[in-house]
Copies of this chain bind each other. A is one copy, B any other.
Amino acid sequence: MIATGKNVTTVKEGDFVSAEMHVACGKCYQCRTGEAHICQHVKIIGVDANGAFAEYVKIPESNIWKIDPAIPADYASVLDPLGNAVHTVLAGEIAAKTVAVIGCGPIGLFCIAVARACGASEVFALEINEHRRKLAEKMKADHVLNPAKDNVYEYVMNATEGIGVDVILEMSGHPDAIRLGFKILRLGGRASLLGIPSKPMELNLADDIIFKGAIVQGINGRLMYKTWYQMNALLKAHKLDLDPVITDRMALTDFSKGMDRLRSGESSKILLYPNGMPKK
């Protein structure tokens, strides 16, 4: 994206930028205490206002993020979902921990990269879609499992000396996957939930959270703007290889072709180029 605007001092026309899509009010209790990502009056660009599948989009100055030249230009358009992954992985201790990533859509795949870069000792990726499991392997998950076929519980318990994983990162929003996640979580482990179940679901609070002494975190958006600084630091240091997640590249005018690809279940992140395909 190319920034432009009057009365704006921190970016200038021609800067190569990305943007945080949560627009916070700046005045509520959450905004005033460092939790703007869960602002009471948040507006999400693309949900509460027209989004960025467009040549021009209006963004408040505070939400603009300049892209460091050391970061691959292709990554600029996936920073919002990458931020979800960074926020989720770093919401608690991750170094030297075993972690299960549940659901390997783009954010789940990003989680694999971030967890590995930040010292997770073993990453288990759970995913029923074959194409996504292949991507999870390309992202170098240590174990890639298919919950529709594999006995995930037994496998994880064997691999963790009967203890279970230290951390689950729930990206699927599927009730069965969520329940499975809690089963493989160790006593005192962390469950960070980002995937959104479509309706209320049954949960065994007694066995899965209370007796277990588990910590459950609802994860929403990205910390404004701590997550962006973290992302920037990891990308500049070349700690994250996101290439496998970008499965398709096309001109913005081929927008509807991109939507077809998404529906096929055989693509992950699709880059749209506003000025046509870049020359390599």
Contacts and interface: CB of A to CB of B under 8 A. Distances in A.
A195 B211 CA distance: 10
A262 interface: no
A220 B210 contact: yes
A34 interface: yes
A38 B163 CA distance: 12
A194 B210 contact: yes
Copies of the chain in the assembly: 4
Contacts of A202: 200-203
A265 to B, nearest CB: 23
A214 to B, nearest CB: 5
A73 interface: no
A122 B220 contact: no
Interface stretch (A52-60, A90-98, A104-112): A90-98
A15 to B, nearest CB: 15
Nearest to A239: B119
Contact of A203 (B95, B118, B203, B213): B203
B196 A233 contact: no
Contact of A196 (B40, B187, B194, B206): B206
B33 A226 contact: yes
Interface stretch (A24-32, A124-132, A267-275): A24-32
A10 interface: yes
Nearest to A90: B95
A95 B85 CA distance: 14
Interface residues of A, number: 69
Contact of A234 (B117, B119, B218): B119
B122 A237 contact: yes
B219 A210 contact: yes
Interface in A53-98: 86, 90, 93-98
A236 interface: yes
A204 interface: yes
A216 B216 contact: yes
A178 B193 contact: no
Contacts of A34: 34, 226
B187 A197 contact: no
Contact of A218 (B121, B198, B211): B211
A40 to B, nearest CB: 6
Q: What 9 A-B pairs have minimum CB-CB distances, sorted nearest first?
A: A34-B34, A118-B119, A121-B233, A96-B230, A216-B216, A95-B118, A209-B218, A38-B213, A121-B237
